[in-house]
Amino acid sequence: MAKMTRRDKREAWEALAYLSPWIIGFLVFTAGPIFFSLGLSFFRWDVIRPAEFVGLANYRYLTQDPLIAKSLINTVVYVAMYLPFSIMVALGLAMLLNQKIKGMGIFRTLFYLPTLTQGVATFTLWSVVYEPETGLINRFLRHFMSHPPQWLIDPSWSKPALVIMALWAVGGTMLIFLAGLQGIPASLYEAADLDGAGAWAQFRNVTIPMLSPTIFFNMIMLTIGSFQVFAAAFVLTGGGPSNSTLFYVYYLFNRAFVYFNMGYASAMAWLLFAIILTLTLFQMKMSKRWVHYG
């Protein structure tokens, strides 16, 4: 290995100096809290009294707490509904917005806007839309059925209602798909067309294989994000009705900031980390069978 010259050392120190604000911020605001929560998961602490070391007691209680299983099941069901539909909706929109027509930039902006307006105000508007008697959805459905769903007040429909609302904001995923579609060489479609392949054959044999790395990336990001669903349930349902929208992160929030069981909440956070890490590694392993690079 070549010895560093004085100039190389100076450039290295200059690079570290430029990077130091990010490095310090990461250590103080990200890495620090991560390792602090790991240590805290072995303690019982309610913020008021001094922390008490309890070893693995918090982790053992995870296997006994009935709401842990309930919240995990709610979250897995939500993810199972949201993940495939978000991929299909985002990809469908991206293909529509990939057409070369005049004014397409305006349409792309309009479809992306809901992603920027996510928040309490948007959730409040959706609560009006889902209102059983006067909401826009049920007023429309009454033309086809006498008893439309009760949405947010029916345990059977509360999670589908939140999934539908989440699909309103797939603009970020849509843009990633749009970038992937624009990276597919037009020559592949021309060759497929010369071979007599129709639109569906081109989609199945050209678009999907060439887009598989993008699909894989979006699956990873959407899985991680959907396992952390919180805000919609917090604002719209409060975990109800009948705990049907008591998602894992919402229950973690309650344990930490309602009941002040900080140690137990930290153990819950590390369990969630282990679940997401396991699923991500599984997806990466399975990707070798269907993701095509180059």
- CATH number of the domain to which 80 belongs: 1.10.3720.10
Q: Let me know whether 237 and 272 are in one domain.
A: yes
Hey, is 44 helix, strand or coil?
A: strand
Q: Let me know whether 28 and 142 are in one domain.
A: no
Q: Is residue 164 part of a domain?
A: yes
Q: Let me know whether 10 and 118 are in one domain.
A: no
Residue with tokens 């299983």: 69
pTM recorded for the entire structure: 0.91
CA distance 234 to 249: 10
What pLDDT, on the 0 to 100 scale, is given for residue 1?
54
Q: Let me know whether 113 and 36 are in one domain.
A: no
Q: Is residue 260 part of a domain?
A: yes
Q: Is residue 211 part of a domain?
A: yes
Structural domain count, the chain: 2
Mean pLDDT of the chain: 92
Q: Is residue 53 part of a domain?
A: no
CA distance 203 to 28: 47
Buried b (16+ CB within 10 A) or exposed e, 128-164: ebbbeeebebbeeeeeeeeebbbbbeeeebbbbbbbb
Q: Let me know whether 125 and 34 are in one domain.
A: no
CB 11 within 8 A of CB 18: no
Q: Is residue 294 part of a domain?
A: no
Phi, psi of 284 (to 5 degrees): -65, -40
pLDDT digits (tens, 9 = 90+) for 82-124: 999 999 999 999 999 998 888 888 988 888 988 888 788 888 8
SS3 content of the chain, % helix, strand, coil (to 5): 70, 0, 30
Nearest to 174 by CA among 209, 214, 204, 122: 214
Identify the weakest region by mean pLDDT among 131-140, 215-224, 262-271.
131-140
Q: Let me know whether 162 and 88 are in one domain.
A: yes
pLDDT at 294 over 80: no
Q: Let me know whether 252 and 121 are in one domain.
A: yes
Average pLDDT over residues 234-248: 94
Structural domain span for residue 18: 6-40
What pLDDT, on the 0 to 100 scale, is given for residue 115?
87
Average pLDDT over residues 245-261: 96
Average pLDDT over residues 158-167: 94
